[in-house]
């Protein structure tokens, strides 16, 4: 029942390179798509890291995210200034200036 006709085998051999080329083209497309996906993920991670670094830099430099701490520092400086003003007044009274 097997067909051993040489003509049929040569036709199959001629069609085989075409199907191999098509298979390789599909595999190349899949690999390219996966590569593009990995590149997109890498770009998203780079953006996220940049945003985190910017947020940390703002926190270190007293940026908007550190506003509550800045208010506490200003209040402390204000209290120190009031204390020093009172001390200067005491010294003036003591020296009768």
Sorted by sequence, the CB contacts under 8 Å of residue 57 that are 6+ apart come out as 63
Domain residue extents for the chain:
1-61, 67-97
- Residue 39 clears pLDDT 70, i.e. is over it: yes
DSSP 63: -
Contact 57, 63 (CB under 8 A): yes
Count of residues making up the chain: 97
Distance between CA atoms of residues 5 and 63, nearest Å? 83
Give the percent of the chain with pLDDT over 70. Answer: 74
Q: Give me the half-sphere count of Cα atoms (radius 13 Å) on the Cβ side of residue 57.
A: 6
- Residue 44 clears pLDDT 80, i.e. is over it: yes
Supply the pTM of this predicted model: 0.45
User: pLDDT higher for 67 or 86?
Assistant: 86
Sorted by sequence, the CB contacts under 8 Å of residue 65 that are 6+ apart come out as 55, 58, 59
């Amino acid at each position: 029942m097997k067909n051993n006709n040489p003509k049929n085998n040569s036709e199959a051999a001629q069609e085989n390179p075409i199907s191999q080329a098509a298979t390789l083209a599909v595999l190349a497309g899949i690999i390219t798509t996966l590569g593009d996906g990995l590149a997109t993920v890498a770009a998203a991670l780079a953006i996220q890291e940049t945003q985190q670094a910017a947020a940390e830099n703002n926190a270190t430099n007293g940026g908007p995210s550190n506003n509550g701490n800045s208010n506490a520092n200003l209040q402390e400086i204000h209290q120190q200034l009031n204390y020093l003003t009172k001390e200067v007044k005491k010294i003036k009274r003591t020296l009768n200036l």
